[in-house]
């Protein structure tokens, strides 16, 4: 299935920021969405926004660290729409801090959300994609997967893992599936600095307000990868503000 119209697209981390904007963008182009995240009220807002514009969306409370939640997301796409064409693994947390702060719960959350969460999505969608002989994984990493800047080492390590897993998946995917890595730079979302060391959070928020690009820039990049004809794989996109060093 080429283009975007009619495709069934599941997006994790769709209750705010890049995921929310991407869901709305793709719905406007005729995709049918399954949107997942933990905050039900925010997901309801996203679904209401899409349906108010005559789009199609289903919201689902999903914690990507739980294998069964991703399975439920894939099952919902199959039950409601009969297929799953694209899984956008976007859920993420940017609770960065220096090692000396020993914020080990935040380290664990980054590993669980970015690495286990991505694997849970692959585990749920891959069998469906194989059966359909078509499907597209879009995995959201970060420019931190390319350049490590302190105090983002744990975040950067987990996003580097996303990059590595995506390339391995691409190599194993064969001629029927597509696999895309999208790595945004500074993007203007509520996630910047959220849960981070307060001093770091203030610096990140300041930098965001000075140089960040809108989340629509990332939504366009994802949309570009999705709308390619069958047999064309956009393997990697890095999209960053011009002002980002």
Strands of 13-140, DSSP E: 32-37, 56-61, 86-89, 135-140
Residues forming a β-bridge with 56:
32
Look at residues 118, 129, 234 and name the one whose alpha carbon lies nearest to residue 180.
234
* Contact call for residue 22 and ligand NAP (CB under 6 A): no
Residues 165, 163: Cα–Cα separation, whole Å: 6
Residues forming a β-bridge with 177:
135
Q: By C-beta, is 14 or 84 nearer to ligand NAP?
A: 14
Q: Is 155 a catalytic residue?
A: yes
Give me the least distance between CB of 84 and ligand NAP, in Å please.
17
**Cis before 151? omega within 30:** yes
Which residue among 86, 124, 126, 192 contacts ligand NAP (CB under 6 A)?
192
**Window 196-235: residues binding ligand NAP (CB under 6 A):** none
- Class of residue 181 by CB neighbours under 10 A (exposed 0-12, middle 13-18, buried 19+): buried
Q: Which region, judged by CB under 6 A, interacts with ligand NAP, from 35-43, 46-54, 171-179, 222-230?
A: 35-43
CB atoms within 10 A of CB 197: 18
Which residue among 4, 9, 19, 60 contacts ligand NAP (CB under 6 A)?
19
* Contact call for residue 189 and ligand NAP (CB under 6 A): yes
Strands of 56-210, DSSP E: 56-61, 86-89, 135-140, 177-184
Residues 238, 80: Cα–Cα separation, whole Å: 33
Q: By C-beta, is 1 or 61 nearer to ligand NAP?
A: 61
Binding mask 134-153 for ligand NAP (x = CB under 6 A): ------x-x-----------
Q: Which region, judged by CB under 6 A, interacts with ligand NAP, from 25-33, 37-45, 52-60, 225-233?
A: 37-45
Which residue among 8, 9, 11, 13 contacts ligand NAP (CB under 6 A)?
13
Per CB under 6 A, residues contacting ligand NAP are 12-19, 37-39, 42, 62-65, 90-94, 113, 140, 142, 184, 186-187, 189-192, 194
């Amino acid at each position: 299935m080429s283009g975007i119209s009619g495709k069934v697209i599941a997006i994790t981390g769709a209750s705010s920021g890049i995921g929310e904007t991407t869901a709305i963008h793709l719905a406007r182009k005729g995709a049918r969405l399954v949107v997942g995240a933990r905050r039900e009220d925010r997901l309801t807002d996203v679904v209401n926004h899409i349906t108010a514009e005559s789009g199609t969306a289903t919201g689902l409370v999903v914690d990507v660290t739980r294998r069964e939640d991703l399975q439920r997301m894939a099952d919902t796409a199959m039950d409601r729409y009969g297929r799953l064409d694209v899984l956008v693994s976007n859920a993420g947390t940017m609770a960065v801090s220096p090692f000396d702060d020993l914020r080990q719960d935040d380290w664990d959350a980054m590993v669980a959300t970015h690495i286990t969460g991505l694997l849970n999505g692959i585990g749920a969608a891959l069998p469906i994609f194989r059966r359909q002989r078509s499907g597209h994984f879009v995995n959201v990493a970060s420019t931190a997967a390319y350049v490590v800047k302190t105090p983002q080492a744990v975040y950067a390590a987990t996003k580097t893992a996303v990059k590595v897993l995506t390339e391995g998946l691409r190599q194993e995917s064969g001629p029927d599936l597509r696999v895309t890595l999208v790595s945004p730079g500074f993007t203007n979302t509520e996630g910047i600095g959220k849960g981070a060391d307060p001093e770091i959070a203030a610096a990140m928020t300041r930098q965001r307000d000075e140089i960040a690009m809108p989340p629509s820039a990332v939504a366009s990049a994802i949309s570009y990868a999705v709308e390619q004809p069958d047999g064309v794989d956009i393997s990697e996109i890095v999209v960053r503000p011009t002002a980002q060093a």
